[in-house]
Amino acid sequence: MVANLGAQMGTATLYANGTNGSSSWSQANELDAFAGTTVNDPRTTPVAGNTYSLKFATTNSKAIVLAFSTTGFENPVITFATRGTATGYATHQWAWSTNGTTFTNFGTNTANTTGTFLTRTLDMSAINGVDNAATVYLRLTVSGATAAGGNNRLDNFVVNASAISGLPAPVVTGANLDGTVGTAFSHQVSATNSPTTYTVASGSLPAGVTLNASSGLISGTPTTAGSYSATITASNGTVSAPATFNFSVAQGSQTISFGLIPTMPVSDPPYTLTATASSGLTITYTSSNTAVATVSGNVVTLITPGTTVITASQAGNANYIAATPVEQILTVLSAATNVTYLGGVSTAAPANVPVGTTVSGISAGNNFGSTTLLGTGSASAG
């Protein structure tokens, strides 16, 4: 529930679910939304809208709770519009609390069993406990309904209170705080006397970290390692003395993602490596056997058949520690060799073809007589 007139101090909440002193109400048959009224609507252009309606005799002695803040204010007086039915609730019992657990009865019976909306008043100005309170819980217990159709309708709650004058300045407690690059951080500034605004008066917070001016929560994900210092003030109309907050942000850790490298024939074109670091920093690569393959930047050039280990590394920087290197094996195969038939005469393969080279392209469809593969090693037809 958000105020649509005047100053909004936090958010008002209506409980009918068994928490914060309320009862559990059934939305199916115990709660309703009948037509509203402009009675007690202080807006320039009143709007009737709907009412919050309680009904059924079986709900006698049940309660709803309205919670709101009086931070910075005192002497609240609440007005609202209500109407009912002849068989509706004949008794309203009000009670207040600042913790949602311990309630104290107050006020007069505000029930209205007529079919006409009337304005009712809850004067809490003599209750010191609800002045400048973070949360006031206002409980309404209903009783006296005599029929299933009996109901009571509530609309247009208005809270009028006076701003507290001469409230002592907040006292802010400084702190020494630790964080890590890349890791979420949060700290709630501690301050007395109900401040409503917080400000970084001097210095600076770590990069990536901000101060919520309304709640005093320092939060974010640091992006730069180092030491920082900031003074923070709080205000409730009177500004506090500044308090110092020191931050020590350590280097973050990082990991490398590096997938398998496919086996390739030596005749393949250069291959691009695609490892990444969680920090976003650039990866460097090395080849353990440069006779088989060399690396320039992130591109591998194949030299000769064999195997080599490609290592992906990230040395870190001022904000990240070095990552653990990741290795992948690159296997380079000999180039495929073809034997071409020219009218029954074979064209020999290139000289010095390594043993184990695959000979491809022999077709049973062209029968020129016997086929002879000559060599000092063995060959296979594929």
CATH code of 27's domain: 2.60.120.260
User: Phi/psi of residue 90, each to 5°?
Assistant: -95, -10
Highest mean pLDDT: which range of 195-199, 306-310, 373-377: 306-310
Q: Is residue 147 part of a domain?
A: yes
Whether 48 and 102 share a structural domain? yes
Same structural domain, 49 and 71: yes
365 and 325 in a common domain: no
**Inside any domain, residue 7:** no
Which domain-ending residue is among 250, 285, 319?
250
Minimum mean pLDDT range among 171-185, 263-277, 283-297, 361-375: 361-375
C-beta of residue 323 within 8 angstroms of C-beta of residue 277: yes
Burial class of residue 78 (count of CB atoms within 10 Å of its CB; 0-12, 13-18, 19+):
buried
Phi, psi (deg, nearest 5) at residue 58: -70, -10
C-alpha distances out from residue 228 to 16, 202, 222, 318, Å: 47, 11, 11, 15
Per-residue tokens: 242: 């500044």
Assess whether 99 and 82 both reside in one domain: yes
**What's the pLDDT band for 370 if we cut at 50, 70, 90?**
very low
Residue 59 · residue 143 · CB < 8 Å: no
Q: What pLDDT, on the 0 to 100 scale, is given for residue 146?
A: 94
Q: Please tell me whether residues 246 and 275 are part of one structural domain.
A: no
CATH number at residue 190: 2.60.40.10
In this structure, are 217 and 287 located in the same domain? Answer: no
Q: How far is CA 34 from the centre of its chain?
A: 38
Whole-number Å distance between alpha carbons of 262 and 304: 16
Domain boundary residue among 199, 221, 250? 250
Q: Are residues 38 and 62 in the same domain?
A: yes
Residues 82 and 24 in one domain: yes
Contact 380, 361 (CB under 8 A): no
Please check the confidence at residue 77 and state whether its pLDDT lies above 90. yes
Question: Is residue 55 a part of any domain in this protein?
Answer: yes
Q: Rounded to an integer, what distance in angstroms lies between the CA atom of residue 356 and that of residue 305?
A: 12
Cα–Cα distances in angstroms (integers) from residue 173 to residues 72, 79, 194, 246, in the given order: 20, 39, 13, 12
pLDDT confidence of residue 28: 86
Strand partners of residue 111: none
Mean pLDDT value across residues 332-354: 59
Mean of pLDDT over the chain: 88
Pairing of strands 226-235, 197-203: antiparallel
20 lies in the same domain as 159: yes
Number of neighbouring beta carbons within 10 Å of residue 365: 4
Q: What is the mean pLDDT of residues 24-33?
A: 91
Strands 73-84 and 118-123: antiparallel
Residue 79 belongs to some domain of the structure: yes
**Structural domain boundaries enclosing 60:** 13-163
User: For position 236, what pLDDT does the model report?
Assistant: 86
Say yes or no: 228 and 212 in one domain. Answer: yes
Contacts 24+ apart (CB under 8 A), 366-374: 366/341, 368/341, 368/343, 368/344, 369/344, 371/346, 372/346, 373/339, 374/348
- Taking Cα atoms as reference points, which of 196, 66, 197 lies closest to residue 132? 196
In a domain, 118, yes or no: yes
Query: Is the torsion defined by CA of 93, 99, 104, 107 positive or negative?
Result: negative
Q: Is the pLDDT of residue 351 over 60?
A: no
Query: In 10 A of CB 332, how many CB atoms?
Result: 22
**Overall average pLDDT of the 303-312 stretch:** 98
- Kindly state whether residue 143 falls inside one of the protein's structural domains: yes
Per-residue pLDDT, 377 = 43
Q: Does residue 104 sit within a domain?
A: yes
2 part of a folded domain:
no
Looking at the structure, do residues 65 and 39 belong to the same domain, yes or no?
A: yes
Is residue 65 domain-shared with residue 40, that is, in the same domain?
yes
In this prediction, what percent of the chain has a pLDDT beyond 70? 85
- Residue that finishes a domain, picked among 250, 266, 298: 250
Number of domains in the chain: 4
Return d(Cα 233, Cα 49) in angstroms, integer. Answer: 42
